Structure 1
Amino acid sequence: MLAGSVQTRHDLLQGAQILVNQVGYHPATPKQAVLALAPGTAAGIRPGWTPTLQIVRADDGQVVWEGTMAGPSEDRLVSGDTLYRADFTSLTAPGRYVAQVVGGPRSPEFAIGPVYRDVLYAAARSYYLQRCGVAIDDPITGVSHALDHHEDGYVLVDDPFYRAGTRLEATGGWHDAGDYGKYVTTTAVTAAQLLKAYELYPQAFADGQLHLPESGNGVPDILDEVRWGLEWLFRMQRPDGAVYHKLAGLRWPGMIRPEQDVQRRYVYRITTQDTAKAAAAWAMAARIFAPFDAAFARKALAAAEQAWRFLAASGPILDYPAEDNSGSGPYDDRDDADDRFWAAVELWVVTGRAEYHDYIARMARTGLPAYAPVSWVNPAALGYFDYVTLGQKGDPAIRARLVQRILEGARSVFQTYEQSGYGVPILAGSFHWGSNKEALAKGMLLLFAHHLEPRPEYERAALAQLDYVLGVNPLAKSYVTGLGSNPPRNPHHRLVKASGVMVPGLLVGGPNDHPQTKAIRPHMGPRGYADVTDSYETNEPAIDYNAPLVFVAAHFASL
Structure 2
Amino acid sequence: MRLFLFILLTSFYLQAQTHFRINQVGYLQNENKVAVAFSKVPLTQKVYLVDAQTDKTVLTPKIKAVTNGNWGTFDYYYELDFSKIQKIGNYYLKSGDDKSTIFPIGTKLYAGIPDLLLRFMRQQRCGYNPELDVYCHQKDGYSFYGPMKDTTFVDVSGGWHDAGDQLKYLITSSYATAHMLKTYELYPNKFEDKVDALGKPGANGIPDILDEAKWGLDWLLKVHPDPKSLVHQIADDRDHAGYKMPDNDNSDYGWGANSYRPAYFATGEPQGLGKFMSSATGVSNLAGRCAAAFALGAKLWKYDAEFAARCAEAAKTVYALGKEKPGYQQGNSVKAPYRYNESTWYDDMEWGAAELYRLTGDKSYLDDAKEFALKSNTEDSWTVKDTTDHYRLYPFLNFGHFVLHELVDKDFQKKLESYYEEGIRYTLNRANRNPFKVGVPFLWCSNNFLSSLAGQLILFEKMTGSKKYNEYLLLQRDWLLGRNPWGTSMYSGIPENGEFPREVHTSLYALKKLEVPGGLVDGPVYASIYNNLIGIHLLHPDEFAEFQNNHVVYHDDLGDYSTNEPTMDGTAGSLLMMAHFL
The normalised TM-score by structure 2 is: 0.82
Corresponding residue number in structure 2 for 1:381: 398
Question: Taking structure 1 as reference, are residues 555 and 135 closer, same or farther at Cα in structure 2, changes over 3 Å only?
Answer: closer
1:23-76: CA deviations, max 9, x gaps?
Answer: 222223322232122xxx12xx37xx352222221xx44225221341221351
SS at match of 1:536: coil
1:173 to 140, 150, 159: 159
Tell me which amino acid in the other structure corresponds to 2:31.
Answer: T
For structure 1, which runs of at least 5 residues remain unmatched after alignment?
1-6, 138-143
Conservation of the 8 A alpha-carbon contact between 2:350 and 2:370: no
1:23 to 22, 25, 36: 25
1:219-269: CA deviations, max 9, x gaps?
Answer: 211111111111111111142343211112543242111111114211113
1:484-513: CA deviations, max 9, x gaps?
Answer: 321112111112211111011111111111
Corresponding residue number in structure 1 for 2:307: 296
Shift of 1:14: 3.7
Shift of 1:320: 5.7
1:354-433 map, 5 Å: 354-363=363-372, 368=377, 370=379, 372=381, 377-379=393-395, 381-389=398-406, 391=407, 394=408, 396-426=410-440, 430-433=441-444
> Structure 1 residues 536-545 or 108-117, which shifts more?
108-117
Partner Cα separation in structure 1 for residue 330 and residue 14 of structure 2: 59
Partner Cα separation in structure 2 for residue 9 and residue 50 of structure 1: 19
Tell me which amino acid in the other structure corresponds to 2:159.
Answer: G
The number of residues matched between the two structures is: 522
Shift of 1:546: 1.3
Conservation of the 8 A alpha-carbon contact between 1:511 and 1:526: no
Corresponding residue number in structure 2 for 1:3: none
Partner Cα separation in structure 2 for residue 328 and residue 258 of structure 1: 24
Corresponding residue number in structure 2 for 1:186: 172
Corresponding residue number in structure 2 for 1:217: 204
Question: Taking structure 1 as reference, are residues 555 and 373 closer, same or farther at Cα in structure 2, changes over 3 Å only?
Answer: farther
Tell me which amino acid in the other structure corresponds to 1:115.
Answer: L
Corresponding residue number in structure 1 for 2:447: 436
SS at match of 1:70: strand
Question: Taking structure 1 as reference, are residues 421 and 132 closer, same or farther at Cα in structure 2, changes over 3 Å only?
Answer: same
SS at match of 1:116: coil
Corresponding residue number in structure 1 for 2:276: none
Shift of 1:314: 2.8
Tell me which amino acid in the other structure corresponds to 1:36.
Answer: F
Whether 1:227 aligns to 2:214 is yes
Shift of 1:441: 1.0
For structure 2, which runs of at least 5 residues remain unmatched after alignment?
1-8, 250-257, 269-282, 384-390
1:303-362: CA deviations, max 9, x gaps?
Answer: 1111122223334363666xx443896323233333222222221222121221232344
Whether 1:459 aligns to 2:470 is yes
Shift of 1:217: 2.5
Shift of 1:452: 2.1
Question: Taking structure 1 as reference, are residues 64 and 453 closer, same or farther at Cα in structure 2, changes over 3 Å only?
Answer: farther
Tell me which amino acid in the other structure corresponds to 1:420.
Answer: N
Partner Cα separation in structure 1 for residue 430 and residue 465 of structure 2: 19
1:18-417 map, 5 Å: 18-37=20-39, 41-42=40-41, 45=42, 49=44, 51-57=46-52, 60-63=53-56, 65-74=58-67, 76=69, 79=72, 81-101=75-95, 103-113=96-106, 114-137=108-131, 144-157=132-145, 159-160=146-147, 162-206=148-192, 209=194, 212-213=199-200, 216-248=203-235, 250-261=238-249, 262-270=258-266, 271=268, 272=283, 273-289=285-301, 291-316=302-327, 318=329, 324-326=333-335, 330-363=339-372, 368=377, 370=379, 372=381, 377-379=393-395, 381-389=398-406, 391=407, 394=408, 396-417=410-431
Conservation of the 8 A alpha-carbon contact between 2:351 and 2:369: no
Partner Cα separation in structure 1 for residue 438 and residue 293 of structure 2: 29
RMSD: 2.9
1:513-532 map, 5 Å: 513=526, 514-515=529-530, 516=533, 517-519=536-538, 524=549, 527-532=552-557
Partner Cα separation in structure 1 for residue 477 and residue 316 of structure 2: 37
Partner Cα separation in structure 1 for residue 351 and residue 91 of structure 2: 45
Shift of 1:186: 0.4
Question: Taking structure 1 as reference, are residues 329 and 12 closer, same or farther at Cα in structure 2, changes over 3 Å only?
Answer: closer
Conservation of the 8 A alpha-carbon contact between 1:17 and 1:107: yes
Partner Cα separation in structure 2 for residue 457 and residue 366 of structure 1: 27
Partner Cα separation in structure 2 for residue 415 and residue 215 of structure 1: 47
Shift of 1:163: 1.6
Question: Taking structure 1 as reference, are residues 472 and 369 closer, same or farther at Cα in structure 2, changes over 3 Å only?
Answer: closer
Corresponding residue number in structure 2 for 1:140: none
Identity of aligned residues (%): 27
The normalised TM-score by structure 1 is: 0.85
Partner Cα separation in structure 2 for residue 334 and residue 371 of structure 1: 9
Conservation of the 8 A alpha-carbon contact between 2:229 and 2:265: no
Question: Taking structure 1 as reference, are residues 326 and 255 closer, same or farther at Cα in structure 2, changes over 3 Å only?
Answer: same
1:127-159: CA deviations, max 9, x gaps?
Answer: 11211111425xxxxxx25221122112134x3
Partner Cα separation in structure 2 for residue 505 and residue 265 of structure 1: 28
